[in-house]
Amino acid sequence: MGKSGKQNKERNGSAAPHDTEADSEEGSDDDDEEKDSEEESEEGSEEGSEEGSEEESEEERQVRIAVPVAMWDFDHCDPRRCSGKKLARHGLCTAMRVGQRFRGVVLTPKGKKPIAPCDDEVVMISGLAVVECSWARLDEVPFGKIKGPHERLLPYLIATNPVNYGKPWRLNCVEALAAGFYITGHPDWAEALLAKFTWGHAFFKMNGHLIARYRTCNTHEEVAEMQETIQRELQEEHDRQKAEKRAYEEGDLLRANPNHVGEGWEESEDDEEVEPPKTDKFGNIIEAEVDKFGNTVGATNEDSDSDEERDDVEQLVAGVAGL
């Protein structure tokens, strides 16, 4: 027994590790599958989080402005319609107190020269600010307390906000900031601000051609000269359209047509000249004598056959009378 038992024990003992190994292999397979599924789920969650973070970062990139944007708000406007307050609610603009200085470019009606592409260096370092106030209450604004080292005017542009749509110069807060960013070469920042307003897209549509011309300049003097050129061209076009309208209303269509410049109405060839009445030496009108047939007595006729025709008629009448 000892030997057989020992053999059986060894056989059983050898069998046990074999079965255990098989079980462990099956168990390891199950563990591997679970591990793989966990890894896949983790990878999926990581991919989802990465996609989500990419979307978030993309959205952040669309609205993030890398420089300070600020305003002095004097509460002149209706808070529900104030573009500056709306930008502040979205975290795109910081309100400053009166007396606080701003080191960047300040857009203010009290500036001495227009903003120009050369101001980009200051904007990139210290940002852009604007005065949020009502155009009708400019006299109430203490401009002396909101000074900055780089005060600028906005050049000729047209407002597209609902309050002053179509009016030159009457830009609101967001339009002024967007114009400043456009002119200094940051259209993405300008669009990030305008995107918060349903009418925002209209600003560049209205002023894009003007902004493009200002962008061809570099210095403040060049922008000022370009502004004068633009205003002169607009005035000339206005005068031309006004003249055409006046000519149309007066009915002188031929004169208004550039294809007929210098031409007038041609005189009719059928118009007959009327001879003036004959007078004597005292200025009295001489009445012509007529015969019984209505012919002028003593009148000359250029027609060579007129005398013969008259003789024929007299003979015909005499013949009829003798019957």
Q: Which residues are annotated as a binding site for S-adenosyl-L-methionine?
A: 83, 131, 154, 169
Are 178 and 193 in contact by the 8 Å Cβ rule? The answer is yes
- Four-residue CA torsion sign, 107, 113, 117, 120: negative
- Look up residue 142 and give its amino acid: P
Binding site, annotated residues: 83, 131, 154, 169
DSSP state of 280: -
From the list 236, 235, 237, 215, the residue with the least C-alpha distance to 226 is: 215
Which residue matches tokens 């001489």? 286
Instruction: Report in angstroms the alpha-carbon separations of 314 from 13, 88, 293, 320.
Output: 172, 113, 9, 10
Provide the 10 A C-beta neighbour count for residue 178: 29
Show the DSSP H helices in 158-249 as ranges.
Answer: 173-183, 187-194, 201-215, 220-249
